[in-house]
Amino acid sequence: MRRPILAGNWKMHMTIAEATDFVRSIRRGLNEVRDVDRVLCPPFTVLAAMRDLLSATEIGLGAQNMHWEEKGAFTGEVSPPMVRELAQYVILGHSERRAYFHETDEMVNRKVHAALAHDLLPIVCVGETEAQYDAGQTEQVVGAQVRGCLAGLTAGQVSGLVVAYEPVWAIGTGKAATVAGAGAVIGLTIRGTIARLYDQGTAQAVRVQYGGSVNPANIAEFMAHPDVDGALVGGASLKPDFVDLVRVAAETKR
Ligand code: PGA
């Protein structure tokens, strides 16, 4: 049985003051939801304050990005040991990083290796753009991303990963993928590629989230799909009813 994992990707939202108010309001409810991993991914500047606020809870913390080097002359970047002081998870290869900051699969792959070397659990994002979707290239694009991002990892490392399937056209648009569509990409393309690269056991062990316009009203249908192990939630993770979303997700999988 794969343990479900729900993560909130706050993106570039929330100052320390705003995040403190918000997390105080959701902390107890979120902590009470059983049998799912719950992770908040705030901006770097907010991580330390959130660590203190969440220290007595089971709610995990993640960064939204990270450099692969341990230290050096990389102005503006944050290293794996810096993230590990504050967080247990790190989102890598989000489509906004790929689109606006030119991250490639090769860079994401370096980051994944660095995260694992520093005992951080990566949430590795893959997904096709709208043009690629329209051109029927989803399987090819997502398959290549999985191969590129996981290159050089052992089966044991891959088994412990979280992969987030986030079709770019579904992110922040209110236009979520269909459950059947997302489930097929996750089951056939993502798990299928991992099964071919490694073995069935590894493909069945890796946890795969769906992301893209997930909200409290549609989370149950996604979680009902046997290949979907959770969600990476953007906009809806900034609202108090994120707690309801996580609760419904947990109940659906039980
Ligand atoms: P969204 O974002 O839930 O606002 O669509 C998801 C994501 O980018 O991780």
3-state SS, one letter per residue, for 26-71: HHHHHHHCCCCEEEEECCHHHHHHHHHHHCCCCCEEEECCCCCCCC
Atom of ligand 1 nearest to the CA of 91: 9
Residues 6+ apart with CB under 8 A from 83: 47, 63, 66, 90, 118, 120
Round to whole Å and give the CA distance between 168 and 9: 15
Quick check: CB of 177 below 6 Å from ligand 1?
Answer: no
Quick check: CB of 127 below 6 Å from ligand 1?
Answer: no
Helix axes 16-32, 44-54, angle to 10 degrees: 40
Tens-digit pLDDT profile for residues 167-218: 999 999 999 999 999 999 999 999 999 999 999 999 999 999 999 999 999 9
pLDDT of residue 63: 98
Atom of ligand 1 nearest to the CA of 11: 8
Q: Contact at 8 Å (CB) between 202 and 158? A: yes
pLDDT of residue 1: 86
pLDDT of residue 19: 98
- Helix, strand, or coil here: 254? coil
Quick check: CB of 233 below 6 Å from ligand 1?
Answer: yes
Mean pLDDT calculated for residue range 48-63: 98
Nearest CA to ligand 1 atom 9: 234
Burial 129-151 (b: 16+ CB within 10 A, else e): beebbeeeebeebbbebbebbbe
Residue 65: pLDDT band (50, 70, 90) is very high
* 94 included as an active-site residue: yes
Residue 54 Cα to ligand 1 midpoint, Å, equals 23
Quick check: CB of 166 below 6 Å from ligand 1?
Answer: yes
pLDDT of residue 96: 98
* 166 included as an active-site residue: yes
Tens-digit pLDDT profile for residues 66-103: 999 999 999 999 999 999 999 999 999 999 999 999 99
Q: Which of 39, 213, 246 gets mutated to test ligand 1 (max ligand atoms within 8 A of its CB)?
A: 213
Residue 172 Cα to ligand 1 midpoint, Å, equals 5
Atom of ligand 1 nearest to the CA of 237: 3
Tens-digit pLDDT profile for residues 102-153: 999 999 999 999 999 999 999 999 999 999 999 999 999 999 999 999 999 9
Residues 6+ apart with CB under 8 A from 161: 112, 121, 122, 124, 150, 153, 206, 207
Count of Cβ atoms closer than 10 Å to residue 170 Cβ: 23
Atom of ligand 1 nearest to the CA of 215: 3
Annotated catalytic residue, options 96, 103, 128, 166:
166
